[in-house]
Each structure stands twice: as C-alpha cells, then as structure tokens.
Amino acid sequence: MESLGGLIKSLALLFILCFVGQSVAAEINVYSGRKEALIKPLLDKFTEQTGIKVNLVTGKADALISRAASEGEFSPVDLLVMADAGRLVRAKNMGLTQTLDVDLPTLSTSFVDPEGHWVALTTRARAIMYKKGAANDLPESMLALANDKYRGKICVRSSSNIYNQSMTAAMLIEHGAARTADWASGIAANMARKPKGGDRDQIKAMIAGECDYAIANTYYLGGMLSSSDESTRKVAEQVAIAWTPAAKGGTHINISGISIAKHAPNKSDAQKLITFMLAAEQQAWYAQVNQEYPVLKNADWSEILESLGRFDTQLVDFNKMGQLNGEALKIMDRAGWQ
C-alpha cells in the first residue's frame, strides 16, 4: 500500500509540475524601447485572443539592451522591441537575439534582417517640414538643405538623437564619407539655434518663427494632428512636408522592429506575437493610432497619413544603416552638430 501511495503522490506531483509548466509557458516577456501607449493596446488584444499573458517592460532602448546583456542566459526577456534600425542592429551585434522562426508575410527584403534576427513592424519618414504658405524656396532634398542659402533657417535635434544618426548613416551609404561630412557641416552651419528638445519642439519652434524648416519624423506630426489638445492641433495644421522625389533620392525612412531574445524562455509563444503584430489588422492599427506607416502593402493608412501625401522612399539597407550609426555620430560631432 505504501508503494501505491507513493506512486499516487508522484503522479500528483508530476501533474502539478506539468500544470505549472503550462501556466509559465502561457506568458511572454517583452522589453520595449517604445512607450507603453504605443504598444500595450496591441499586446492586450493579443492576450484577449490567445490567452497568452504579456509582461511589458518599457524604458530607454539602450538601457533595456544593457539590461538584457547583463542578465545573460538568465534573462526572462522573450522579445525586444526597438524604435529604430540602429538599436535592432546593436542588439544583434551584441549577441542578444536569435534567428526568427516565423512564417512572415510578404515584405520588402529591406524590412527583414539578412540573417533573420529582426523584422520591421512599422516605418516612419524623417522629412523636411515647413509652414504652409511661408516658404517659397523649398529644398528639393535633405542633401540640399545644407546649402548656404538656408543659413540660420533649420531646427533639428542633437547629434545624440538616434533618428539623426540613422539619417546620417543613410547619407553615408548613399553619398560616401566626404560628401556626408560636408552635408553635416552645412546642416550645423544652417541651424537657427542650438539643438534642443524633441521633434515636436522643432515643429513648434518653426511655427513660432524661430526657423523656416524643421527636420522631424512624420509620426510626431501625425500625433500632433490627432492630439486631444486644440492648441497642439492648430500648430500641426499649419505644417506642410517637402517630400523628396525619387530622382533626388527619395525621403529618408527608418523602422521600428522586433527580435526574439537569444535566451527566450518562451520562444514559441513569442513567435505567435510576432505573427499577430504583422497581420493586416494590427498593421492598420499602427497607422490609425500611432500614425506610423505599415510595412504591409495592403494595410490601410489613416486619414491623417493620407492627408500628408504619398511619397517616394529612400532605398536604404537598414542593417547597414544600423551598423554605420557610430561612424555617423563621429561625423556629426566633428561637424559641430551638437
């Protein structure tokens, strides 16, 4: 009888362990360099549809990458979400990610890491903005904005901003180091003020008359246009975009993207979340709520994005762009781009 009792206890313990294992497997951990409001609604929807709980940790992207690195093989993180190509590549180069094992939808090859370590979720344009009716000599490209005739007319963030680093890295790919250095020097010389604040601050300063042109990401303008604050909307409604035509290289774009962590304890469920976020419905949500451009061609744009106009995009290797961010920063700093 004792042996039978022992067997029953062993079976009961095995059942409990299996149940606990299933419970643990039914959740995933996400480190996101994006703000909670820009991702959590989708994660909540995923949980509602699948029953898989998502534990979200948000913060500065570099801090989250450092955290994952310090945690090593004991890290609980399953997925890394980053707001630019530079940090996606950085995480990969640090050995923090692994090859995706996901059936991806048909995407442009530039939206997937050549070695399969990350996939883009959205794109955003970094464009030249101006006040409607105020500019009569629009620059035909970001490169042209470094011309002497735009002296004292530009508002832009600092060289420490990774969006500017990625934009400069794209210049390196397209035009080489010498011409990019000249361009960065021209931008620094043409600034109306020392760089300060974020993209919204550049837009507001332009409308306030501090400069004629602002370099900013379109989703910031889209967010201002959809703001519940009337004064913010009124500022944004005065803004137009000088899109760069394909003949001049197209408008610079960057991506947000996602990677599976190297030691992801819940890889299978993490892969399900990636598939979910790349579905057309979720892609349309990004456009409607975050004013970002979907990576899926058949996903709908928001009315606000449509109002900004269709545009030609710069053809860029995001992986190479991310790898060149460090060199881009050195060029900007040497040019006096503070």
Same domain, 292 and 239: no
**pLDDT given at position 8:** 42
Task: Identify the burial level of 230 via C-beta atoms within 10 angstroms of its C-beta, where 0-12 means exposed, 13-18 middle and 19 or more buried.
Answer: exposed
Is the pTM for the entire model greater than 0.95? no
Residues 55, 27 contacting (CB under 8 angstroms):
yes
- In three-state secondary structure terms, 56 is strand
Q: Could you report the per-residue pLDDT of 147-156, keeping only the tens digit for each?
A: 999 999 999 9
Same domain, 247 and 141: yes
pLDDT at 17 over 60: no
CA-based nearest residue to 313, from 108, 47, 100, 30: 108
CA-based nearest residue to 227, from 217, 236, 238: 236
Q: Could you report the per-residue pLDDT of 195-224, keeping only the tens digit for each?
A: 999 999 999 999 999 999 999 999 999 999
Average pLDDT of the segment spanning 43-63: 96
Residue with tokens 């990576």: 295
Residues 29, 75 contacting (CB under 8 angstroms):
no
Same domain, 244 and 151: yes
Gyration radius (Cα) of the chain, Å: 23
pLDDT at 12 over 80: no
Residues 303, 293 contacting (CB under 8 angstroms):
no
- In terms of residue numbers, what domain contains 184? 124-252+310-334
Q: Helices marked H in the chain — which ranges?
A: 2-25, 40-50, 61-71, 85-93, 162-189, 199-207, 218-225, 230-236, 267-277, 280-285, 303-308, 318-323, 325-334
Cα dist from 81 to 24, 111, 137, whole Å? 21, 14, 39
Same domain, 10 and 105: yes
**pLDDT given at position 3:** 53
Q: Could you report the per-residue pLDDT of 125-142, keeping only the tens digit for each?
A: 999 999 998 767 899 999
Q: Could you report the per-residue pLDDT of 230-246, keeping only the tens digit for each?
A: 999 999 999 999 999 99
Same domain, 145 and 242: yes
Same domain, 219 and 315: yes
Q: Could you report the per-residue pLDDT of 277-314, keeping only the tens digit for each?
A: 999 999 999 999 999 999 998 899 999 999 999 999 99
* Beta pairing partners, 126: 217, 252
Same domain, 59 and 189: no
Residue with tokens 């980053």: 82
**pLDDT given at position 48:** 96
Confidence grade of residue 25 (pLDDT, cut at 50, 70, 90): very low
Residues 78, 65 contacting (CB under 8 angstroms):
no
Same domain, 82 and 118: yes
Quote the DSSP letter at residue 270: H
pLDDT at 2 over 60: no
Same domain, 146 and 30: no
Measure the CA dihedral 190/195/201/204, to 10°.
Answer: -30
Q: Which two tokens stand for residue 162?
A: 């990774």
CA-based nearest residue to 328, from 85, 112, 115: 85
Same domain, 83 and 135: no
CA-based nearest residue to 331, from 135, 156, 113, 159: 159
Same domain, 217 and 266: no
Same domain, 136 and 240: yes
pLDDT at 11 over 60: no
CA-based nearest residue to 272, from 56, 108, 43: 43
Average pLDDT value for the chain = 91
- The Cα 5–Cα 151 span in angstroms is 87
Confidence grade of residue 101 (pLDDT, cut at 50, 70, 90): confident
CATH number, residue 270:
3.40.190.10
72-76, 154-158, 228-232, 314-318: least confident range: 314-318
Task: Provide the number of structural domains found in the chain.
Answer: 2
Confidence grade of residue 104 (pLDDT, cut at 50, 70, 90): confident
Distance spanning both ends of the chain, measured CA to CA: 80
Cα dist from 38 to 43, 77, 269, whole Å? 10, 19, 21
Confidence grade of residue 9 (pLDDT, cut at 50, 70, 90): very low
